[in-house]
Structure 1
């Protein structure tokens, strides 16, 4: 079985988010179901991912301003999804070889980048939802 790289896995997650964003409005309209943020529901404090469902639904509808306002991280996820789709296609076509393990240094850098993005998103959500 082929191993998938971290970007490919995140891109796969993004593809699932896109499918869910297309289906969710119909499910919600028929059932009245909602997806509340557990942290915000329990504490009143938004999490870094608050608004991602709203942003994903707005993004697939082409409402990019609304998507940005809900959570700008959706644009990074969308870009990564497209890029990883191309990467998977190139690997499946034999143009590129399989993924190589990341070095500890690269893992550390990506970890720091993820932490910075999560912190920035959290600050954005705190500002958006408390002002």
Structure 2
């Protein structure tokens, strides 16, 4: 049977992956000279809502909070969800708490709207940061 992960667990897993990547990324780029540019920005000159997340993650992992906030303050939300989700994942794995209850259509719709607003706010921030607004 395939294990079911809740939305916070999935976001927490993504956050852990981002933290590991942010730890390894500076060494990789320094040794290879390769980077990961934003494709939307590279092709259009317009930043995407996620622009700066790599920079923010690296800064956060190094403890440079102001630099992380300047690049993309959304990294703090991801970090908070990750910190909360990790114990949840461990407790579920140990069987201390039960499997997640699937969200209702209404709850999924509400979360979709929240994420849309968060993406829009991030995009406005990025447009301002790059001098578009």
Name the TM-score, length of structure 2 as normaliser.
0.95
- Aligned residue-pair number: 131
Deviations 1:82-129 (A, max 9, x none): 111011122123321111110001001100000000000000000001
1:37 & 1:51 partners in 2: Cα distance?
A: 9
Stretches of structure 2 lacking an aligned partner (at least 5 in a row) = none
Alignment partner of 1:130: what SS? coil
- Indicate yes or no: 2:24 matched with 1:23: yes
Stretches of structure 1 lacking an aligned partner (at least 5 in a row) = none
Match of 1:122 in 2: 123
Match of 1:44 in 2: 45
1:111 & 1:2 partners in 2: Cα distance?
A: 23
Q: How far did residue 8 of structure 1 move? A: 0.5
2:87 & 2:110 partners in 1: Cα distance?
A: 24
Alignment partner of 1:3: what SS? coil
Match of 1:81 in 2: 82
Match of 2:60 in 1: 59
1:44 & 1:74 partners in 2: Cα distance?
A: 22
Name the TM-score, length of structure 1 as normaliser.
0.97
1:83 & 1:89 partners in 2: Cα distance?
A: 11
- Indicate yes or no: 2:115 matched with 1:105: no
* RMSD, aligned α-carbons: 1.0
Alignment partner of 2:3: what SS? coil
